[in-house]
Amino acid sequence: MDLLEYQAKVLFREVGIPVLPSQQIDDPRDLKQLQLPYPIVLKSQVHAGGRGRAGGIRFVENTIDAIAAARTIFNLPIMDEYPQVLLAEARYDTEKECFLAIVFDYLLGCPVLLGSSQGGIQVESVLEQMQKIVLEEAFSPFHARKLTVAMGLQGKAIKSVSEIIVRMYRLFATKDLNSIEINPLGINTAGDVMALDGKITIDDRALGRQWEVLGLLDRLNKVEQNGDTESSHPDVISLPVAYPLEVYNAQGNIGILSNSMGLGMLTWDLLHKEGGKPACCWIMSSESDGILLDEEDLADSLAYALSQVQAVEGVDRILINCLSSAEISTAVAKAIADLIKPQGDTTALADSEDRAERPTALAWRSQRFPRKRTKANKSSRSASNRTETKFIVRLIGVDGEAISTISHSTLYCTEDLTQAIQQTLSFK
């Protein structure tokens, strides 16, 4: 998921990366209430590069020119993308511009620091001067300083740019980023630095725990869909309630539901080690940044994940492995009780698919992670077929009453993971 410049700069401010005073422009008329002194620069907020060459960046000296320029930019497609938002930003005089980035290299399996003493739109010059530091060990400020020295920076610039790299890495690590880039990083005659442009790519699979990023995305999405700013209230956040791991086995017959990526991968490995054939794994959200989701959202998460696993052809048993606080486990148990009625009542399972269509279920999540297997047609699957699915539930610290409500012939519940694995393999 690529963030726009103005969204990236919101995150830059959080960690102390200096950015210029700016204002979001949703309509050219907003410039009549501009809080910035002229001259300013207007920037098209699109994901494509090359905005300056395409005419998406304009320098203006007064309100009349700003409104005219804004109307032009709003109607200017860049790589077939029209901006829904512009960024009005103060001007900044630089003596030198450089390039900084941190990317996760999936071939090396670690982050890489990148820096060039040349920044801006001249890509060839940037690449010619590019320096690289591979983080084969834990990051430290030493790595930042090593990169700045390799870039050829001197004096105060070494210290100030090193501090920027440290802050970039903090953002990279805490926000689950795939990459973060500042181009250009402006350095003025006093040696002060300023992030003049920024790009951030976040791991889609981490959005469930990045509420603030979701808020940034939600505000833009609502402007795009409704064409107004009233509906883009920052407190209205569409939470991705479940997402799949990017691992599938076309020959598998076991579906996995878990409440964390690490636990899901562990469950997959344990089943495989014991000779089982896991087919797919879905991660249901239970909390983010320590904030417990309410029972309704948690039930939506479980219902949506369950409906997706049941839709995979060949799956005849589902292992639900939830490891968290007793409060979360009890809420999961209650949600399972609603979805899996005693004695194989099929109405709840049918309802789970309807429930997944609620607004909080976020159908866009499955669109971002398209299936890699052929799904059975949900409408063609009879209720009798659904009742044949066996459920194995591993929960920690659940009270006896919650457990008793979900006990029936097609379900086995335990607190012991080893027992859950063995029961999954032997369930008839």
pLDDT digits (tens, 9 = 90+) for 168-196: 999 998 888 999 999 999 998 888 899 99
Q: What's the pLDDT score for residue 295?
A: 59
227 in any annotated domain: no
In angstroms, rounded to a whole number, what is the distance separating the alpha carbons of residues 94 and 386? 66
If asked whether residues 254 and 369 sit together in one domain, one would say yes
Q: Average pLDDT of 27-37?
A: 94
Of 32, 58, 91, the position where a domain reaches its end is: 91
Q: Is the pLDDT of residue 366 over 60?
A: no
Q: Is the pLDDT of residue 354 over 50?
A: no
Q: What's the pLDDT score for residue 372?
A: 36
Q: What is the CATH number of the domain that holds 284?
A: 3.40.50.261
If asked whether residues 338 and 420 sit together in one domain, one would say yes
Q: What's the pLDDT score for residue 369?
A: 33
Q: Is the pLDDT of residue 49 over 60?
A: yes
Paired with 186 in beta bridges are 97, 194
> What is residue 381's three-state secondary structure?
coil
260 in any annotated domain: yes
Average model confidence (pLDDT) across the chain: 78
State how many domains the chain has.
3
Given 3-state DSSP classes, what are the helix, strand and coil percentages for the chain, each rounded to the nearest 5? 40, 25, 35
Nearest by Cα to 45 from 21, 20, 76, 15: 76
If asked whether residues 176 and 294 sit together in one domain, one would say no
If asked whether residues 80 and 100 sit together in one domain, one would say no
If asked whether residues 283 and 148 sit together in one domain, one would say no
Q: What's the pLDDT score for residue 166?
A: 95
Using the 8-state DSSP alphabet, how is residue 337 labeled? H
If asked whether residues 304 and 259 sit together in one domain, one would say yes
| pLDDT tens for each residue of 236-272 | 333 445 677 767 788 899 999 988 778 888 899 899 9
> What is residue 194's three-state secondary structure?
strand
Q: What is the CATH number of the domain that holds 72?
A: 3.30.1490.20
5 in any annotated domain: no
207 in any annotated domain: no
342 in any annotated domain: yes
Q: Give this prediction's pTM.
A: 0.54
211 in any annotated domain: no
Q: Is the pLDDT of residue 343 over 60?
A: no
If asked whether residues 109 and 40 sit together in one domain, one would say no
If asked whether residues 188 and 299 sit together in one domain, one would say no
8 in any annotated domain: no
If asked whether residues 343 and 264 sit together in one domain, one would say yes
If asked whether residues 250 and 397 sit together in one domain, one would say yes
In angstroms, rounded to a whole number, what is the distance separating the alpha carbons of residues 63 and 168? 35
Lowest mean pLDDT among 23-32, 163-172, 185-194, 406-415: 406-415
Domain extent, residue 137, equals: 96-202
Nearest by Cα to 274 from 79, 87, 426, 80: 426
If asked whether residues 182 and 156 sit together in one domain, one would say yes
Query: End-to-end alpha-carbon separation of the chain, Å?
Result: 42
Q: What does each C-alpha distance from 255 to 29, 70, 279, 317 come to in angstroms?
A: 53, 51, 6, 6
Higher pLDDT, 416 or 226: 416
If asked whether residues 327 and 398 sit together in one domain, one would say yes
Are 58 and 24 in contact by the 8 Å Cβ rule? The answer is no
Higher pLDDT, 289 or 94: 94
In angstroms, rounded to a whole number, what is the distance separating the alpha carbons of residues 377 and 198? 44
- Residue 219: how many CB atoms within 10 A of its CB? 20
335 in any annotated domain: yes
Residue spans of beta strands (DSSP E) within 215-313 = 242-244, 254-258, 278-284, 287-288, 291-292
Q: Give buried/exposed letters for 231-269 (b at 16+ CB in 10 A, else e).
A: ebeeeebbbbbbbbbeeebeebebbbbbbbbebbbebbe
